[in-house]
Structure 1
Amino acid sequence: MGNDTLEHCALALVEYQGEWLDADGKLNKLMQDRTLFTDSVEQSERALEAARRAGMHIVHVGLRFSPGYPELGKARSGLRAAIPRAGTFRKGTPGSAFVEPFVPRTGEWVVEGRTGASGFAGSNLESMLRNNGVETIYLMGYASHVCVESTLRDAHDRGYDVVVLTDATAAFNRDQQRHFEEAVVHHFGRGIKTSTFVQWLQTVGH
């Protein structure tokens, strides 16, 4: 924000897919603070609608793994072990599908090849951003303290300015969310509310 021009900014949506957003999604069931989660979805809708209306670059950062999860190997711990064990984000399943109103539209970018917690891991995200002159990433999605945080840290270290829409993210519970917002975000970017983002778009959009 501030001196940002719209053409050099992108809104990145992390995992607005069935595993999180469908009532029977495997990760949806892990959300302990339902109010936190529901509110974050509502704010995410507001942010995306405003960004689309303003003509902002929009990039969908999902996860999709091949049957058998060969991309993740035979890990003993961490997400590389947990994802195959849980059976999440397999290609062709409802859990890996984007959910309305977050389904990509014509002209919006969809990340391919991602294999890790960071949206940049193994993917074409960097090429999309660099080749289109993006300097500032507005970030929202799930979970705050896992893949959103990993993407935030990675983007910072790659030289991007990163702005987290804090109320358009959610962790599994309020303590995790508070830690993310108060102890993590300011080291790698800055956090704002969705209302501030929408107001800014109204001044710079077309």
Structure 2
Amino acid sequence: MSQTALVLIEYQNDFLSEGGALHEGVRAELARTNMLAHTEALVRAARKKGVRIVWVPIEFAPGYPELSTAPYGILAGVKATNAFRIGSWGAQIVQSLKPQEGDVVIAGKRGLCGFASTNLDFVLRQNGITRIALGGLLTDCCVESTMRSAYERGYDVVTLADCTATLSQAQHEAAIDFTYPMFSHPMTSQAFLDTLP
């Protein structure tokens, strides 16, 4: 098995599907970047090369008891729109990327970083993973937070520039052009595949 894992953040209906609680906010950027189609192709190809597929959804209990009574910033929007409720359609991973046997779905993400409240680090190390490639939503939020933490934990980090999206082109490009190179190797999904044996 490969020492590389594909770590995919918040590929959930509330972001990616028509009618999702936060879909309108990212609709234009999803269309511009075509990140979903890029990710679908990448997952198919990566599986064939023995890359472990790791899903990191975010979920909250009804009433959002995990959050403060007055959340602010990005989490205020999650609570206000009733997004990512455990057991809801919106919290499910989008149908076109439904996890398959052998994939790992990480439970417990309640904030921005994929490592902070989960066993992601444990699972990666148990599987001998030393290199991770990150995709998902939002480019400058959860993907960026997870990238920074992975870098500090000593992983060889790739960020997939065409498998991420956020609220605007300016935000997306600023993250990829200025922040991502400080903590990762930004590249397209095809360039990443080309690095695999």
Tell me the TM-score normalized by structure 1: 0.90
What's the offset of the Cα at 1:113? 1.1
Does the CA-based 8 Å contact 1:90-1:96 persist in structure 2? yes
CA distance in 1, matches of 2:76, 2:23: 19
- Name which of structure 1's ranges 25-34 and 184-193 shifts more when overlaid on structure 2: 25-34
**Alignment partner, residue 139 of structure 1:** 134
- 2:115 is aligned, of 97, 112, 120, to 120
SS in 2 for 1:64: coil
Q: Letter of the aligned partner of 2:32 in structure 1? A: L
What's the offset of the Cα at 1:80? 3.6
CA distance in 2, matches of 1:194, 1:101: 17
CA distance in 1, matches of 2:190, 2:71: 42
Does the CA-based 8 Å contact 2:139-2:165 persist in structure 1? yes
Does the CA-based 8 Å contact 1:21-1:28 persist in structure 2? yes
What's the offset of the Cα at 1:65? 1.0
Unaligned runs of 5+ in 1: 1-5
**Alignment partner, residue 88 of structure 1:** 83
Unaligned runs of 5+ in 2: none
Structure 1 outlier segments of 4+, above 6 Å: none
What's the offset of the Cα at 1:29? 0.6
- 2:53 is aligned, of 55, 58, 62, to 58
CA distance in 2, matches of 1:109, 1:72: 26
Task: Say if 2:65 is the partner of 1:47.
Answer: no
SS in 1 for 2:48: helix
CA distance in 2, matches of 1:34, 1:125: 26
CA distance in 2, matches of 1:136, 1:34: 26
- 1:171 is aligned, of 166, 170, 173, to 166
Does the CA-based 8 Å contact 1:47-1:197 persist in structure 2? no
**Alignment partner, residue 35 of structure 1:** 31
Does the CA-based 8 Å contact 2:22-2:81 persist in structure 1? no
**Alignment partner, residue 151 of structure 1:** 146
Q: Letter of the aligned partner of 1:36 in structure 2? A: R
Does the CA-based 8 Å contact 1:73-1:80 persist in structure 2? no
**Alignment partner, residue 19 of structure 2:** 24
- Name which of structure 1's ranges 74-83 and 50-59 shifts more when overlaid on structure 2: 74-83
What's the offset of the Cα at 1:176? 0.8
- Name which of structure 1's ranges 27-36 and 187-196 shifts more when overlaid on structure 2: 27-36
What's the offset of the Cα at 1:42? 1.2
- Name which of structure 1's ranges 161-170 and 75-84 shifts more when overlaid on structure 2: 75-84
1:4-19 alignment, distance < 5 Å: 7-19=2-14
What's the offset of the Cα at 1:35? 2.8
SS in 2 for 1:69: coil
The aligned length equals 196
The C-alpha deviation readout for 1:49-91, integer Å capped at 9, x for no partner, is: 1111112111001011111111123244123433222211001
